[in-house]
Structure 1
């Protein structure tokens, strides 16, 4: 699996983006809270200690805007694998967490079943949490529009309450996030208000704009009969 995805993107609600800047934290959820039941197909005695966050490697995606910004008020933050790794790896070292960051591989359901079964057999012979994390970098082809890059952390101190709440890690959002893009369907008034808040209240100095995905272009006119 490739560990280098280059550019990374997440579409969130505006209030969640504000929380990242104000609290200077990233939230990592337990995979059991994700929609796909295959995320927790492989169970082991450290399953409750693994938390993740998903990013997208596609900068322009109609599907992602429609899924994650259904009310047309979503905000896309962007970073790079290098910037993200720098911040997360520091926390992992300080807290004694196990870290994995890689692109998700999309396969047929048949192939995934086969690979998970083989992985289970290997782990029964010799358990390694890094090897167990392999299962969370496999997804069915039906989800390949997500083009995911995942950050996984194993938090040894996690308990049942932690599984429900997830974990939060400190980051510097002004260093991590290098641009903010608003939904291409957002009303101009909201774009102006969000831009003002991010730049004047939050103090974000980098690019803030509205996506031009649905911006009309000059038509090609066919003249004559």
Structure 2
């Protein structure tokens, strides 16, 4: 597993992901996690190394044939922020899930009995650089360990540094011409996830209904479900006035 955790990322740390309640129940119902091709991400600089032109010794230009064989999913080391809830839970009924890095990558490695887990499955922390430095990066994407391909997805512009991203990455070793835009694999939420937190703005009646389903239908531990207190007023906050 150590080969799959890049750049000295601590396997014990927690990472988080916020999405809509519908996606949460889809995850529990299908037991499938979905990684997407970087072309679906908003930043045009995503996958810029693999998608860019390359020039060989003869002067000919082309592109890497495997540029579309890579899939990823974005998590964050940031536990919570007002902006995150507003961006990823616009309907005020989203959830934040939590997992340890080691459980996240173990889930990917174990799924579907991958024959090439050591060179296909990775998790790593994103580094943020000025745009001019991104252009000067020299990553060996052809290295036999598979790490180079994964590391090419772990760089973003400095303007995105507030995201504190960690990315789960799968590199598909498949010569088929029909490469999908998404990659799904078997995923047990009760094993990989260890906390579910509701949007701080959610209607309590709805969170109670959702909690009931998560516990009684899908077997998620009740003690590991809560609601964010981001907007809760501080208790017993007393300002002392000086005479």
Query: What range describes the TM-score normalised by the shorter chain of this pair?
Result: 0.7 to 0.9
TM-score, normalised with respect to structure 1:
0.88
Counterpart Cα distance in 1 of 2:178 and 2:41: 17
Counterpart Cα distance in 2 of 1:31 and 1:158: 19
| 1:154-193 pair list within 5 angstroms | 154-157=171-174, 162-164=179-181, 166-193=182-209
Unaligned runs of 5+ in 1: none
**Is contact 2:149–2:171 with CA below 8 Å preserved after alignment?**
no
User: Which of 18, 31, 37 does residue 38 from structure 2 map onto?
Assistant: 31
Q: Which runs of 4+ in 1 moved over 6 A?
A: none
| 1:115-194 pair list within 5 angstroms | 115=137, 118-119=138-139, 122=140, 129-157=146-174, 162-164=179-181, 166-194=182-210
Counterpart Cα distance in 2 of 1:62 and 1:32: 27
Aligned residues: 218
User: Which of 135, 138, 143 does residue 113 from structure 1 map onto?
Assistant: 135
If asked which structure has higher relative contact order (CA below 8 Å, sep 6+), I would say 1
TM-score, normalised with respect to structure 2:
0.81
| RMSD of aligned alpha carbons | 2.1
Q: Aligned with 2:80: secondary structure?
A: coil
**Is contact 1:49–1:159 with CA below 8 Å preserved after alignment?**
no
Distance 1:30-1:91 versus aligned 2 partners, 3 A rule: same
User: Which of 14, 34, 52 does residue 7 from structure 1 map onto?
Assistant: 14
**How far off its partner does 1:160 sit?**
6.3
